Every structure is written in C-alpha cells, then in structure tokens.
A and B are shown apart, each in its own frame.
Chain A
Amino acid sequence: MSEAGVGLRGVVVCHGTLADGYVEAVRQITGIGEEALTALSNRGLSPESMTAALRGAIGDGPGIVFTDMIAGSCGFAARRLCHEREGLAVISGVNLPMLLHFVMHRQEPMEQLVPRILEKGRTAVCCAPGRFEGVEDHGHSAVSR
C-alpha cells in the first residue's frame, strides 16, 4: 500500500482548461472524488505562483503529477517540485487511460504503479489502420476497411 490505505494523490496540470476536462472525464467514468485527483491550470499564473499552487494541490504526502507536456510552465513547475522533495513522480504526456489506471490502482506502491501507468498510456497511443505506424491493425480491421 502507498500509505496505510490512503492511496496516492494525483494532480493533473495542463495548459488552458485541459486538466479540468481530463478530471471531469475521469469522474464521469469512475465516480472518484477530489481526494484522488484534482485539476490545475497554468492560466494567469507566474512560474512561482504555479509551483506554489501545485505544492498546495498535491499536499505533503506521496503523489503523482500528470502534465500535458514535458516542457512548458506546467512541466517545469512539476519537475521543480519533484526535485524539491521526495515521494513525487511526474508523468508527462497525460492521457485518459493512464489517469483511469491511476485512480483505480492508487493504493499500490509508487514503484509498482508508475511503470504500469506509463505502459497504459503508451499502449493507448495507436492508429487505425495500423499500416500508418507500421504494425498490424489493433483490432480495428473492420473499421479500417
């Protein structure tokens, strides 16, 4: 368990209103509350304010920060915070499958959970027809024809 059954906390940090959209979609699908996953936008925030807002959102316990991009103000704030203290991981290139996996498995230890979230997220990026990415179709052959 991550911490006496409490579970890891997640924060989605994105440009514009993207994070709100992701969190709303996760809630719609899973019914989870704010204790598991919250959204943060960079809109109107200086780098210092952004880091402070993220620090408040993630709290003192272990957690995962999901960002839309590696670079940019969201990614930078997350990596600064991760550099500043233990118990955090930053996952960039957020998508819905990785967030769903996170909220359903956030009781698992971070060392175990983070690689699985990455795997879920990467697997979810694909194309039909598969020939555009040089692979067999991902079960979409009926659609691609």
Chain B
Amino acid sequence: MAIVLFRVDERLIHGQVVVGWGTSLHPQLIVVIDDDLAGAPWEQELYCLGLPPQLETRFASVDEARRELPGWQSAPTRIILLTRDVRNMRRLLEDLAGDGVEVNIGGIHFAPGRRAVLPYVYLSDEERDEMARLAEEGVTISARDLPSGRRVDLPQLLGQ
C-alpha cells in the first residue's frame, strides 16, 4: 500500500508528523484532506513552511480525495494522509476503505463536549460514534502520537 499512514491530527502538518513519523516512514508526499484548507492558499502556504524540499504536499477536499483515494493506494509514492478530525476521515473512507486500512489517532485536543481519553486525545460522543462506524466497516483504529509511543486500541479509546 502506498499510503503509509492515515492520521487524524488537529494540527495537521507539524513536528510530530514531519519529524516523528517522517523519520520512520520516509514519506514522499503529505496529503491534507480538508474542505476549508483546500480553498485557502494562504493557509496552505503556512502549513508548507519549513518542510524539507523533497517532501511534497497536496491539499484536497474530501470529495476530491474520495475520487483520488484508489489511485493513492496503489501509487508508487509513499503517502501520509491527514485529516483534522474523525468525521472527515470517516467521510473519506466510508465504503472505500478496503481491507487492511488502519487509522492512527494522533492528536484531538480538549474542546467543550470532549472528554479526556489520553493526554493527546479528547473525544466527544459524536466522535466515538464516528470511530465505531469506521470500525464496523473494517477499519482498524488506534491512537499513538509518535512511532515510539504506546499504541492504544479502539476498545480502550471507547472505554470498553
């Protein structure tokens, strides 16, 4: 599979992704899937600041990404795919995930309505439902901020 990491992280492109995961997965392309960012050139430029020149980036809306996903999954390029929330990851993968897709929860921080699960993961009831729906489709979900961190599987994230 050419997509080496599916990750949900509110911060999108940042140090943990580029340095932490980048060092271990050696991605060539980071795809950020976000409807707002896909139409915001200034914000896109911001996210690309400081990236190593050999690392390409692309910003796509969810609909665009759903059309492109099969191509990315079989591309020769090593790709990290990011969404800022669980909802967008579920929208992306619904009916398309296929076998063996694993989603990494990397950073969902405190906000009203969310409860602490891990120091870097806070979840609302809606987000728990979204995760459960993804899991029903055969997607494996776990949390881990960095490759060296402890992996926390879905049942524990959902408090089961």
Q: Which A residues lie at the B interface, using CB under 8 A?
A: 15, 44-49, 69-73, 75-76, 79-80, 83
Contact = CB atoms under 8 A, between A and B. Distances in A.
B4 to A, nearest CB: 21
Interface residues of B, number: 18
B111 A70 contact: no
B100 interface: no
Contacts of A80: 46
Nearest to B111: A46
Interface of B: 10-11, 13-15, 18, 42, 46-47, 49-51, 108-111, 119-120
A46 B110 contact: yes
Given A49-B109, A71-B49, A75-B49, A83 B11 contact: no
Contacts of B120: 44
Query: Considering the complex of A and B, which 10 residue pairs feature the smallest CB-CB distances, nearest first?
Result: A71-B50, A46-B109, A70-B50, A71-B49, A72-B14, A72-B15, A73-B11, A46-B10, A70-B49, A73-B14
A71 B149 CA distance: 23
Given A44-B109, A45-B109, A47-B10, A72 B46 contact: no
Nearest to A69: B50
A48 B10 CA distance: 9
A79 B49 CA distance: 11
Contact of B15 (A15, A47, A48, A83): A15
B82 to A, nearest CB: 13
Contacts of A47: 10-11
Given A44-B119, A46-B110, A71 B13 contact: yes
Contacts of A70: 49-50
A49 B46 CA distance: 18
A15 B109 CA distance: 15
A47 B42 CA distance: 16
